[in-house]
Amino acid sequence: MQDDDRTTLASAPLFAALAPETLELLLGLGEEQRFERGAELFAEETAATHLYVVLEGSVRLTRGVVPYGDAVLAVLGAGEVFGELAFLDGEPRSATARTDERTRVLAIPADALEDLLLMRQDIAVEILWNLVRVLGRRLRKTNERLTLLSRTLPR
């Protein structure tokens, strides 16, 4: 881990306003992983084992749309979190994650994070409220996209 990884983690909306000790716990749970450009972190419909924080670089999330190919859901940069949906619902991955450039991530095992949240309710409340906010923002963006898309459809 690099010194600025703490700052990057603290800037992640999911971990906003957490105490420095809590951020250290999260860093301790995770493992730094490095990927070259174009590397696949996980594929759509595979089992979820980790939640990820981009420390450096960028990750493109896509979903296969038959017969059109891949639809880009998001391009995430430093401080952004992904893989949280599968952590929440235990379902297979809803997207494929691939790097757009050389990228470093913090990979936090889902079971270790779940154990932390069960043991430390104070941390659980903060992270889960942050998660509600993150998901709310993503839902708003999705609504905006759907509205724009509906305007292009023939009536």
Q: Which CATH number fits domain 4-152: 3.20.20.70, 3.90.1520.10, 2.60.120.10, 2.60.40.10?
A: 2.60.120.10
Strands (E), 6-76: 31-35, 40-42, 50-56, 59-65, 69-76
Q: 103-133 as b/e, with b when 16 or more CB fall inside 10 Å? A: bbbbbbebeebeebeeeeeebeebbeebbee
At residue 66, the pLDDT reads 83
Mean pLDDT value of segment 15-36: 94
What is the value of pTM for the model shown? 0.87
Q: What is the mean pLDDT of the chain?
A: 91
**Which stretch of DSSP H or E encloses residue 45?**
none
In the structure, what pLDDT confidence band is assigned to residue 4 with cuts at 50, 70 and 90? confident
Instruction: Please report, for the chain, the start and end positions of each structural domain, with discontinuous segments joined by +.
Output: 4-152
pLDDT of residue 46 exceeding 90: yes
pLDDT at residue 44 in the model: 94
**Which tens digits make up the pLDDT trace of 48-94?**
999 999 999 999 999 988 888 888 999 999 999 999 887 788 889 99
